[in-house]
């Protein structure tokens, strides 16, 4: 029997996720009646259809861990989808050798067993015909074995060369294979981690009141490069409808000069394959993509599969939409909310096949324009079968493409979106403020079953959500949530204006006052009380420390204060070890005793070690299991890099 295979999602229905170049650790329970010595292999190959042909099966040996649990591994050398299965069989010669040793130890007669062993060696020789040196070694052993003494026969039974030949040329005629092929997706490293900056391109103008352009966006690239971001994410760039257009503060009626919501996509100027004329041209957009790349910034685009009532699709393909019995077009609703400026597609209607193909062509259009990352708006309001099909179709041609699911919805639905293919997911981090809930939630994200298929991306705020913690906590709150987002998981993002600590909200809501969703916003990025220095420092630390670029290495540790979160991030080889403490109180200083996980860090209790606090560039000597620290609203977090002394180094060397 081969069972309890890992990684496997819902009995193989969905693929697990890994990163290019990563080793997939495969584990399984493998058991058989009796006392046979078993052998097992992981069989794997790449499935990605864009290759000229499917890969041939490759095999990697598995080894026992104890209690019938086995483990093997294989490498992911290219992007795309892989499949693996497991095959196991009994090794007759190794079983014979094991039984012979027990018989000799018990003083039993072994003449018949020696004849049996010789026959087994002959059978191995027949299977090893392509290995003439091995065949000769097997032939000699088979001839000699029946004439040997017990002690001499035992040496033959334990001969590593013979056991290796038996393992390399097995009789697999009665091998048992796992009942299905399990899929793995190998994504590019950016799918694991990166720092995002969200921006409304129309707000990039250098003067207040003027509509920004793609050329204006280019003037922001040096600023974002200086802050250390990896990804510039633009809200929708398409023509905006006029019917039902929302005014400032989400007013149901727009004034003549109101610009509307960019998520109300489509007008006489075009739809999802067009750009808003006030932003520029498609060539201007492509120029922005290239200019961003020169600054080491990748451009991400908002993918919103919805329309304004003015979208050309409605006139050209009315069969793609839902119509009421009275002949009117059904607008988007989530009662009591109504979105008069938005119309949804009928994703599962009679014409869904042609609709799906058209929406796929939208994604491919922007890929051709240079976009390889898509932040998908409200995917939880579209059918799961559609996303499963679309993402698989796109990634079969472009396995480098990343899809981020913007779905603040029910937990199981968020996980379902990750299962059907979304590369990354928004999380509930935005509303997790207390120590116990942060620890519980992030242990679930990084060490629970969903770690095999769901990668969180942390956002302290979005254009839709200004949490109460940020509304009330001042710059200290923005620093706290920034450091948490940038160190708990390898992917995080901020919405433009976060670095300016924008916290004005409509009373009693999580909505920004003067929301950028409905109007142009002009920002002074030199305004006082900004936290640009902290953003720059964090992104620099993230790039310099591989431990912060890993997902499954988060460990929480004890701090004797419920308002201080204490955790570590370490690389597997222990070359990069970080301890991180963050105050959860933006209003008052917090003192605490940190209980340093010396055993986890490989540090002897009597050993002195240096800590380098990376945010302030201060160095200290620590010794023992505890350390006293104080965090303040001005400096609410600390990130210590551990540096231990070698035998030839002293504290004097480090300080002087």
Residues recognised as catalytic: 377, 406
Beta strands in 92-191 (DSSP E): 176-177, 182-187
Packed helices 111-127 and 132-144: angle between N→C axes, nearest 10 degrees:
170
Residue 481 · residue 429 · CB < 8 Å: no
Using alpha carbons, select from 92, 91, 96 the residue that is nearest to residue 112: 96
The full 3-state SS of 560-590, as one line of letters, equals CCCCEEEEEEECCCCCCEEEEEEECCCCCCE
Peptide bond into 167 cis (omega under 30): no
Position of tokens 């005014």? 247
Sheet holding 402-406, edge to edge: 456-457, 424-426, 402-406, 373-377, 298-303, 231-234, 194-199, 491-495
CB atoms under 10 Å from CB of 138, counted, come to 27
Residue 89 · residue 38 · CB < 8 Å: yes
Residue 488 · residue 551 · CB < 8 Å: no
Distance, in Å, from the CA atom of 373 to the CA atom of 299, rounded to the nearest integer, reads: 7
Distance, in Å, from the CA atom of 72 to the CA atom of 284, rounded to the nearest integer, reads: 50
Using alpha carbons, select from 155, 212, 347, 360 the residue that is nearest to residue 273: 360
Using alpha carbons, select from 47, 30, 164 the residue that is nearest to residue 87: 30
Q: Which residues contact 328 (CB under 8 A, 6 or more apart)?
A: none
Peptide bond into 514 cis (omega under 30): no
């Amino acid at each position: 029997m081969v069972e309890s295979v890992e990684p496997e999602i819902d009995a193989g229905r969905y693929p697990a996720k890994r990163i290019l170049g990563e080793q997939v650790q495969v584990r399984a329970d493998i058991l058989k009646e009796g006392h046979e010595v078993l052998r097992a292999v992981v069989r794997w190959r790449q499935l990605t259809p864009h290759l000229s042909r499917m890969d041939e099966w490759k095999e990697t040996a598995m080894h026992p861990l104890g209690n019938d649990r086995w483990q093997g591994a294989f490498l992911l050398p290219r992007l795309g989808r892989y499949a693996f299965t497991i095959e196991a069989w009994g090794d007759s010669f190794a079983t014979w050798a094991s039984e012979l040793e027990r018989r000799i130890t018990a003083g039993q007669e072994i003449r018949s067993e020696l004849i049996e062993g010789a026959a087994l060696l002959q059978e191995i020789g027949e299977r090893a015909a392509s290995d003439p040196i091995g065949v000769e070694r097997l032939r000699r052993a088979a001839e000699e074995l029946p004439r040997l003494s017990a002690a001499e026969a035992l040496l033959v039974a334990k001969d590593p060369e013979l056991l290796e030949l038996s393992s390399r040329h097995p009789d697999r005629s009665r091998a048992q294979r796992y009942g299905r092929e399990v899929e793995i997706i190998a994504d590019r490293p950016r799918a694991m981690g990166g720092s995002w900056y969200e921006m409304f391109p129309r707000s990039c103008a250098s003067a207040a009141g003027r509509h920004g352009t793609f050329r204006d966006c280019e003037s922001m690239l040096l600023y974002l490069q200086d802050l250390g971001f990896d990804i510039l994410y633009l809200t929708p760039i398409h023509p905006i409808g006029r019917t039902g257009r929302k005014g400032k503060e989400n007013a149901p009626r727009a004034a003549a000069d109101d610009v509307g919501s960019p998520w109300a996509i489509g007008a006489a100027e075009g739809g999802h394959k067009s750009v808003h004329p006030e932003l520029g041209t498609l060539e201007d957009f492509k120029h922005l993509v290239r200019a961003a790349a020169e600054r080491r910034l990748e451009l991400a685009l908002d993918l919103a599969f919805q329309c304004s009532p003015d979208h050309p699709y409605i006139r050209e393909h009315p069969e793609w939409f839902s119509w009421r019995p009275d002949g009117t077009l059904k607008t988007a609703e989530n009662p009591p909310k109504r979105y008069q400026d938005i119309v949804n597609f009928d994703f599962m209607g009679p014409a869904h096949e042609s609709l799906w193909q058209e929406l796929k062509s939208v994604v491919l259009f922007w890929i051709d324009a240079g976009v390889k990352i898509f932040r998908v708006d409200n995917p939880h309001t579209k059918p799961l079968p559609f996303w499963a099909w679309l993402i698989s179709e796109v990634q079969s041609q472009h396995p480098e493409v990343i899809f981020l699911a913007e779905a603040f919805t029910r937990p199981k639905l968020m996980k379902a979106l990750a299962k059907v293919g979304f590369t990354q997911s928004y999380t509930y981090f935005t509303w997790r403020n207390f120590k116990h809930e942060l620890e519980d939630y992030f242990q679930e994200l990084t060490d629970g079953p969903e770690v095999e298929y769901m990668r969180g991306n942390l956002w302290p705020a979005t254009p839709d959500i200004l949490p109460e913690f940020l509304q009330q906590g001042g710059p200290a709150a923005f620093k706290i949530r920034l450091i948490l987002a940038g160190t708990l998981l390898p992917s995080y993002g901020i919405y433009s204006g976060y670095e300016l600590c924008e916290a004005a909200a409509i009373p009693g809501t999580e909505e920004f006052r003067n929301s950028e969703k409905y109007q142009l916003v002009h920002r002074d990025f030199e305004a006082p009380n900004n936290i640009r220095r902290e953003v720059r420092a964090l992104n620099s630390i993230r790039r310099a420390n591989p431990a912060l670029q890993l997902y499954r290495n988060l460990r929480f540790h004890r701090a004797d204060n419920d308002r201080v979160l204490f955790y570590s991030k370490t690389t597997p080889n222990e070359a990069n070890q970080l301890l991180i403490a963050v105050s959860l109180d933006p209003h008052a200083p917090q003192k605490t005793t940190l209980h340093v996980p010396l055993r986890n860090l490989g540090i002897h209790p009597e050993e002195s070690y240096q800590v380098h606090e990376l945010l302030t560039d201060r160095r200290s000597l620590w010794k023992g299991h505890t350390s006293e620290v104080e965090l303040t609203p001005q400096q609410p977090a600390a990130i210590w890099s551990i540096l231990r002394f070698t035998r030839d180094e002293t504290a004097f060397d480090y300080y002087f």
